[in-house]
Copies of this chain bind each other. A is one copy, B any other.
Amino acid sequence: MSFVLIVGSGRVGSIVARDLLAAGHEVSVLDGDPLSHERLDAGQESTWEGAGGRFTIGQAIERDALVEAGIERADVFIAATNGDNTNLTIAQIAQKMFNVPRVLVRVMDPARAEWYGSQGMEIICPTSYAVTMFETALGLPGADG
């Protein structure tokens, strides 16, 4: 069991959070929008907190919010807000200031995804994926974004 801190409770963050909690991990979610909490309850039998999840309201780029959300003992850090700049900034904070062992980041810009992927972060780039899928569907070999 790992302690996973997820920043960003959007479509991606909230689904990953629920699935990880259901799989027995300890999961803490940080988001600046109180209403984003609703996504964590969606389709569940109990509330997010009732199921053992944690939720912190706060700005991801503020150190205090990250600490409150538990970054100091996180095994895994997931940056899944809607902004590349925010995701890359907080991922670097998690990696360099808090020494979180695993840092996963969603990056929409393929160019930045490639560069940061070479810096020890695990980068997930949905844009490159979409390009590859379209091109694969159309028979383009060796397609990548």
B-binding residues in A (CB < 8 A) = 2, 4, 11-12, 15-16, 19-20, 23, 25, 76, 78, 80, 102, 104, 106, 108-110, 122, 124, 126-127, 129-131, 133-135, 137-138, 140, 143, 145
Partner pick for A129 among B2, B80, B126, CB 8 A cutoff: B126
When all copies of this chain in the complex are counted, the total is 2
Partner pick for A110 among B11, B106, B110, B138, CB 8 A cutoff: B11
Q: Is the CB of A135 within 8 A of B11?
A: no
Q: Is the CB of A19 within 8 A of B140?
A: yes
Closest chain B residue to A15, Cβ basis: B131
A and B contact pairs by CB, cutoff 8 A, 17 listed: A11-B108, A12-B127, A12-B131, A12-B134, A16-B131, A19-B131, A19-B135, A19-B140, A76-B138, A78-B134, A102-B137, A106-B130, A124-B130, A124-B133, A124-B134, A124-B137, A129-B129
